[in-house]
Amino acid sequence: MYGHSDFDYPIAFEGYVATTFAEYVIDPKPRNRLWMVEDEQGLVGTIGVMDRGDSAQLRWFSVRPDWRENNLGNFLFGAAMEYIQENDFQKAWLSTFSESEIAVALYKRRGFRIMVETDVEIGGKNYREIVMEKSFLT
Over residues 98-118, mean pLDDT: 93
| For residue 138, pLDDT beyond 70 | no
Average pLDDT, the chain: 89
Instruction: Note the pLDDT of residue 28.
Output: 86
Q: How many CA atoms lie within 13 A of 14 on its CB side?
A: 8
Instruction: Note the pLDDT of residue 23.
Output: 83
Tens digit of each residue's pLDDT (9 = 90 or more) over 83-94: 999 999 999 999
Q: How many CA atoms lie within 13 A of 136 on its CB side?
A: 16
Q: How confident is the model at residue 68 (pLDDT cuts 50, 70, 90)?
A: confident
Neighbour count for residue 130 (Cβ, 10 Å): 21
